[in-house]
Amino acid sequence: MIRSRGSAIVAALLVVALVAVIGGRVLMVQGMSINQSEARDDYDIARETASAGLHWARAILYDDGRRSSTDHLGEAWAQPMPPTVVGEATVSGFIEDAQGRFNLNSLAVKGKIDPLALAVFARLLSNLSLPSDLADSAADWIDEDDELISQNSAESGYYLGLQPPYRPSGLPYGSVEELLRVRGFSPTMLEKLRPFVIALPMPAPVNINTASPELLSALVPSLSPGDAGRIAAERERSPFKSTAEFLDRVPGVRSDQMPPLAVQSQFFLVSGSVRQSNTHYQVASLLQRQESRWPRIVWQMPQ
């Protein structure tokens, strides 16, 4: 009887222990479910807030396009939005003129390499202390033939010898990150180059009111980086109203010796950041401003 009573007590204690373990597990799962639900709610709120911020940027660009025939860094769209509390979220962001950067897809138009754009990109690389012959590889990546621009470039023969092998695109760049598949480009080089280049879905002139001094100097072979910096400083006080004004600052250069230039843009980059509780949501978008219509969203992606 004593042995039987002891077994019953042990069994009862075991049952209690199992109930305690199961109960604890249930509470833990419930807690995790609540936390996950809260995290999903915070993420959804942050994403919706970022979407609202994107529509705000579209409204600003639409209104600016109706009021102004030039785009420059003194306009409202170019002023960054400081961290602003919206409900329980903190929102910040900025708009950047995408045509103030070098368009990688200008290197080859309809599969044919553009010598002017190639020379500009080579000078831009040099201004950034990067190897200028990388321009050849970047152009060969998207042209339609399989012939090398130079011995430092690469076509199918080089890429098919890699592990794993692949072929050059032969199509316009889909993103700046695609350069990492091109011979000679490294992640470090890409990060140094990233603020100065863009992959636009169509040819677009460089906006001389928003281009960096490094790009301005690359556009004009006779313009030193120092002189380009002075022009950029003067441009802040008095933006160019026409490309002719810019060419007057660099005598001896004809318009047909340069790639297409402009003082107004249609492509803009929008970067937004939203903090909601413990959630940090960042998003980047490319907008295309259209006449008499709200800017079109070309692409949008989380960062």
State residue 301's pLDDT score: 87
DSSP calls for 138-155: HHHHHSSS---SSTT---
269 has pLDDT over 50 = yes
Q: How confident is the model at residue 36 (pLDDT cuts 50, 70, 90)?
A: low
* Both structure tokens of 37: 């639900």
Q: How confident is the model at residue 47 (pLDDT cuts 50, 70, 90)?
A: confident
Give the span between the Cα atoms of 200 and 206, in whole angstroms: 12
Give the span between the Cα atoms of 91 and 9, in whole angstroms: 61
* 148 burial level (CB within 10 Å; 0-12, 13-18, 19+): middle
Give the residue from 278, 132, 250, 111 showing the smallest Cα distance to 193.
132
Give the span between the Cα atoms of 213 and 75, in whole angstroms: 19
pLDDT, tens digit (0-9, with 9 covering 90-100), for 11-27: 444 444 434 443 444 44
35 has pLDDT over 80 = no
Mean pLDDT of the chain: 87
Query: Cβ(250)–Cβ(197) under 8 Å?
Result: no
Within 10 angstroms of residue 103's Cβ, the number of other Cβ atoms is 25
Give the residue from 134, 272, 116, 141 showing the smallest Cα distance to 205.
116
Task: Give the whole-number percent of the chain exceeding pLDDT 70.
Answer: 86
Within 10 angstroms of residue 226's Cβ, the number of other Cβ atoms is 10
Q: Which has more pLDDT, 283 or 45?
A: 283
Query: Cβ(184)–Cβ(134) under 8 Å?
Result: yes
Q: Which has more pLDDT, 144 or 48?
A: 144
Q: What domains appear along the chain, each with residue ranges and CATH number?
A: 102-260 (1.10.40.60)
What would the mean pLDDT of 267-271 be, rounded to a whole number?
96
What would the mean pLDDT of 99-124 be, rounded to a whole number?
96
Partners of 285 in beta bridges:
270, 300
Q: Which range (52-61, 127-136, 184-193, 194-203) has the least confidence?
A: 52-61
State residue 37's pLDDT score: 61
pTM of the model: 0.84
pLDDT, tens digit (0-9, with 9 covering 90-100), for 80-110: 988 888 878 888 899 999 999 999 999 999 9
DSSP calls for 177-221: GGGGGSTT--HHHHHHHGGGEE--SS---EETTT--HHHHHHHST
Q: State phi, psi for 101 to the nearest 5 degrees.
A: -115, 165
What would the mean pLDDT of 229-249 be, rounded to a whole number?
94
pLDDT, tens digit (0-9, with 9 covering 90-100), for 171-217: 999 999 999 999 999 999 999 999 999 999 999 999 999 999 999 99
